[in-house]
Chain A
Amino acid sequence: AQKITQTQPGMFVQEKEAVTLDCTYDTSDPSYGLFWYKQPSSGEMIFLIYQGSYDQQNATEGRYSLNFQKARKSANLVISASQLGDSAMYFCAMREPYSSASKIIFGSGTRLSIRP
């Protein structure tokens, strides 16, 4: 069964520092996709970055990058040069496309707080 684990309920980081948010996953399917979403206090879910299991390189999108370690089944989100607006909940998610249950499941999230 699919499972996503985010072990950091909350993190505090100084503005302009880099931060790594941890995500581990469990799947027996060799083909899958990993996503990160941001949810500010306003409540909307904002897609940040995607990593496919067969992608050779780690995904990057602006200040976001994904540290993908397939053997360890981890997909950590790295935010460089953090900004006050990065304060939000962050969710890791996974989809297994070829299983009969090709839904997207989410972890419990990490609340990131940026200190000025």
Chain B
Amino acid sequence: DTGVSQDPRHKITKRGQNVTFRCDPISEHNRLYWYRQTLGQGPEFLTYFQNEAQLEKSRLLSDRFSAERPKGSFSTLEIQRTEQGDSAMYLCASSLEQVHSEAFFGQGTRLTVV
């Protein structure tokens, strides 16, 4: 297994456009997490899945954000009507569900909204 992969690595979009990011977790991991990170800050939780079920979505997340994990494998994060404040690094991570299981992170997708 090559680890968690995210696509694309970089995305530049115009304000108001929709964007979609993909995350492929480590195959045996049933937990998948999405985080947003801005420069000099810690990863901010967005949402997470156990298999195909979305267990929690951050209250900070507006309705413009949606995530899916249709078959319990890869996941997509869509941002509709992007705003300049959405510019950030979007990180995906996966783990097993045991308490001691660390999350393995992808390289992230850097979004720039112009």
Binding site for B on A (CB under 8 A): 4, 6, 31-33, 35, 43-45, 47, 50, 52, 89, 91, 93, 95, 97, 100-109, 111
Contacts and interface: CB of A to CB of B under 8 A. Distances in A.
Contacts of A52: 99-100
7 contacts: A50-B102, A93-B103, A95-B99, A103-B45, A103-B55, A104-B33, A107-B42
Nearest to A91: B42
Contacts of B111: none
Contacts of A44: 105, 107
A44 to B, nearest CB: 6
A51 to B, nearest CB: 9
Nearest to B43: A106
Interface of B: 33, 35, 40-45, 48, 55-56, 89, 91, 93, 95, 97-100, 102-105, 107-108
B103 A101 contact: no
Contact of B55 (A4, A47, A102, A108): A102
Which of A4, A44, A52: most chain B Cβ within 10 A?
A: A44
A34 B44 CA distance: 17
Contacts of A31: 99
B41 A108 contact: yes
B45 to A, nearest CB: 6
B42 A108 contact: yes
B104 A47 contact: yes
A32 B99 contact: yes
